[in-house]
Amino acid sequence: MTLNNPTADGFVPQQGLALDAALSRTTHLGIGAHQDDLEFGALPGILDCFGQPDRWFTGITCTDGGGSPRAGVYADYTDDQMKAVRVEEQRTAAMVGRYSAMLQLGYPSSRIKDSADPGLKDELVALFEASRPSVIYTHNPADKHATHVAVFNAVLQALRERPQTERPQAVYGVEIWRGLDWMPDEKKVVLPVDGHDHLIASLQGVFDSQIAGGKRYDLAAAGRYRSNATFFASHGVDTTSNLVYAMDLMPLVENPALDPADYVIGLMRETEAAIRQQILEVS
């Protein structure tokens, strides 16, 4: 498997295993815009595969790490130096999480957001053919980060080009730069992330350049996981202590005529109707 961009990085944590072999055994695939998106959003897939001989997580990070905020010891780093740090941090996370492979595709964010540029979509088509995962985790279309939504769009377009019989069994749009608490409860995909506190802390803690840069993503994510679990149901005791919410993207994959904006607005209208009905019932 040859990656398109000269700055792209294909890394296999298991020594002696070729990239093609690492891709071919993939069962769970995470696709994020930036270094660390996988460890905060696709965490359920990483944990599902950790230490399991028949399940393997592969990560894809689409951007090159350029334009990252920097502070503290990183305050004077050039953009190229910061890119190198972020690539190395992502490699470290792949080793900690025992990924099958970690691909950093090296696209500038501006190129991914250019709707006339099919580069990322075309490369994802080839990667889906090489990996053929059963489960995919990526950004959801209601995310408020423009690059995240652009990556979602490329993933969706690439999946729609796959033959129907060769598509994954599940595609989840996870929450990062906007929570999914607003979705109707019956439409939320609820993904537990319990029992691996030290592993989660290790995975997220390797991204020191971002956490030390003034954004405590690790603490914020931990709070979100716990909040999701506690406030998911108002009656009964908690059955899990940490949850990631996701949006089911399979309706969009299976129906090329379904517009992502219409899909999201439809979910919002379901929530609106439920709120309106509850207010009317108690008024």
Across the beta sheet with 170-174, what order do the strands follow? 9-11, 101-107, 57-63, 28-32, 135-139, 170-174, 243-248, 188-192
pLDDT (0 to 100) of residue 233: 77
170-184 pLDDT, tens per residue? 999 999 999 999 999
Q: In whole numbers, what is the pLDDT of the chain averaged over residues?
A: 94
Smallest Cα–Cα separation from 103: which of 75, 133, 124?
124
Give residue 207's pLDDT.
Answer: 93
Sign of the Cα torsion 38, 40, 45, 47 reads positive
d(CA 175, CA 244): 7
SS3 state at 207: coil
In this prediction, what percent of the chain has a pLDDT beyond 70? Answer: 98
Q: What residues pair up with 188 in beta bridges, in sequence order? A: 247
Tell me: pLDDT of 235 over 80.
Answer: no
| Residues near 251 by beta carbon (within 8 Å), at least 6 away in sequence | 258, 263
- pLDDT by residue (tens digit) across 257-273? 999 999 999 999 999 99
Report the distance separating Cα 249 and Cα 258, nearest Å: 11
pLDDT tens-digit readout, 139-162 = 999 999 999 999 999 999 999 999
Residue ranges of domains in the chain, CATH in brackets: 9-282 (3.40.50.10320)
Can you give the pTM of this predicted structure?
Answer: 0.95
